[in-house]
Amino acid sequence: MKLFESVRIALSSLMANKLRAGLTMLGVIIGVAAVIALMSIGRGASQAISNQIQSIGTNLLFVRPGASQQGGVRGQEGSAGTLTLEDSDALKNIEGIVAIAPEVDSFGQIVYQGNNMNARVLGVTPEYLDASTAAPASGEFISAANVSGRSLVTCLGSGVADELFPEQDPIGQTVRINNVPFRVACVMEPKGGTGFLSQDTQIFVPLTTAQTRLGRGGRFRGGNNIDVINIKLQDTQYSDSVTQQIGDILRERHRVVEDDFTVTSQADILSAATSVTDTLTIFLGGIAAISLIVGGIGIMNIMLVSVTERTREIGIRKAVGAKRSDILLQFLTEATVLSVFGGLIGVALGWSIASLMGNVSLGNTQIKPVVDTGAILIGVVFSVLIGLFFGTYPALRASALRPIEALRYE
């Protein structure tokens, strides 16, 4: 029996029981749709996170203090307080570095009249603009005079400005940061992002002001504590050599053999984030694939019922010359057709769900699902394999029937 003839007979048999065929395909439809929708949304989220990280820059290094230890208990990275402003100055002459920006980091409550919010507060120097992609949209960024004079000035992220000053210009206004009055000197360009990755929900103050007026002061080996040194490289090819030189200089300055600091690159952060989101995407796809197995069990169940119902038909076919392989092919084709049709409908449904999710915003970020040919191929191939795998046993059972016993079946 030719394959085309088997497909025609399979379609004819399925059309004779439309409702049963539709309900049988439902499990495969839901499974394939879930796989495509969840994998597309997962890849979209991964792409959004990657874009947010890359928007900061890819040729960056971050030097942070190591972890503190107390009573044999190790604290989190950055808790040791072993970096100083003088350490930052000592790294300026390394070849391949184009900008160095020390930073202290904290959180504070920002209040303007009846509006208030919590935001990340960064104590920085003018070099911060050179070491990052940040730029003021209006006003003037923190100057060297502001740093040396410990001025009470601040630059607001665009999200903070919109929240505190929804209908007026913030420049020149006075806000209170942890109950300390600051004059707004500038508003930063919007960068996007949500949560910790958002650059729009943070504010900037002079580094010395953060140390003396906002409780970020501290001393280590006679120097002023800082939380991170942001380093911009001339090119990513300098990353390894600069990292090595940073280690040599800081170990000598701190008089230690084992590093009491960490050096990470933006590429390391991007790689870690991508690894996590890829794992999450695979996990979501795996959960959705369970419903495909349930759909396959449904196909097997219906095909076994079909074999029982058509026992006399099988006996007649064998009696007029049909071979065992013909019967096997017929029922296997029928199961595969059920699965493939369900898979194609599931692809269309999953694509539609992913497209609808593209119009949903989570916070300030709109996740755009990535529906690629890989996800579609996975859905179609799995639906074919489900049909072949779960249709094999009913097909073998049908082909093994003896013609005389089948003709006697009532």
What are the beta bridge partners of residue 233? Answer: 97
**Structure tokens of 23?**
């309900």
Rounded to a whole number of angstroms, the distance between the first and last alpha carbons of the chain is 27
What are the beta bridge partners of residue 120? Answer: 107, 202
Is residue 228 within 8 Å of residue 175, measured between CB atoms?
no
What pLDDT is attached to residue 367?
67
Q: Of the candidates 318, 305, 321, which has an alpha carbon nearest to the alpha carbon of residue 407?
A: 318
What pLDDT is attached to residue 363?
52
Looking at residue 397, its amino acid is R
Q: How many CA atoms lie within 13 A of 234 on its CB side?
A: 10
Question: Which of left, alpha, beta for 274 (phi over 0: left; psi -120 to 50: alpha)?
Answer: alpha
Q: pLDDT digit of tens for each residue in the chain (410 aa)?
A: 566 666 777 677 777 777 877 888 888 888 888 888 887 877 777 777 776 666 666 678 888 886 555 444 444 554 456 788 888 888 888 888 888 889 888 888 999 988 888 889 999 999 998 888 888 999 999 999 999 999 999 999 998 999 999 888 999 999 999 889 999 999 999 876 555 557 788 999 999 898 888 876 565 565 678 888 888 888 777 778 888 888 888 888 888 777 778 888 776 777 777 777 777 777 777 777 777 788 888 888 888 887 777 777 777 777 777 777 777 887 788 888 888 888 888 888 888 888 777 655 555 556 677 777 777 787 788 888 888 888 888 888 877 777 666 566 55
What whole-number distance in Å separates Cα of residue 72 and Cα of residue 81?
17
What pLDDT is attached to residue 73?
42
- Which 3-state string (H, E, C) describes the chain? CCHHHHHHHHHHHHHCCHHHHHHHHHHHHHHHHHHHHHHHHHHHHHHHHHHHHHHHCCCEEEEEECCCEECCEECCCCCCCCCEHHHHHHCCCCCCEEEEEEEEEEEEEEEECCEEEEEEEEEECHHHCCCCCCCEEEECCCCHHHHHCCCCEEEECHHHHHHHCCCCCCCCCEEEECCEEEEEEEEECCCCCCHHHCCCCEEEEEHHHHHHHCCCCCEECCEEECCEEEEEECCHHHHHHHHHHHHHHHHHHHCCCCCCEEEEEHHHHHHHHHHHHHHHHHHHHHHHHHHHHHHHHHHHHHHHHHHHHCHHHHHHHHHCCCCHHHHHHHHHHHHHHHHHHHHHHHHHHHHHHHHHHCCCEECCEECCCCCCHHHHHHHHHHHHHHHHHHHHHHHHHHHCCCHHHHHHCC
Is residue 344 within 8 Å of residue 17, measured between CB atoms?
no
Residue found by looking up tokens 């539609």 in the block: 352
Q: Of the candidates 340, 336, 323, 341, which has an alpha carbon nearest to the alpha carbon of residue 399?
A: 323
Looking at residue 230, its amino acid is N
Q: Of the candidates 153, 145, 166, 154, which has an alpha carbon nearest to the alpha carbon of residue 202?
A: 154
What whole-number distance in Å separates Cα of residue 125 and Cα of residue 136?
14
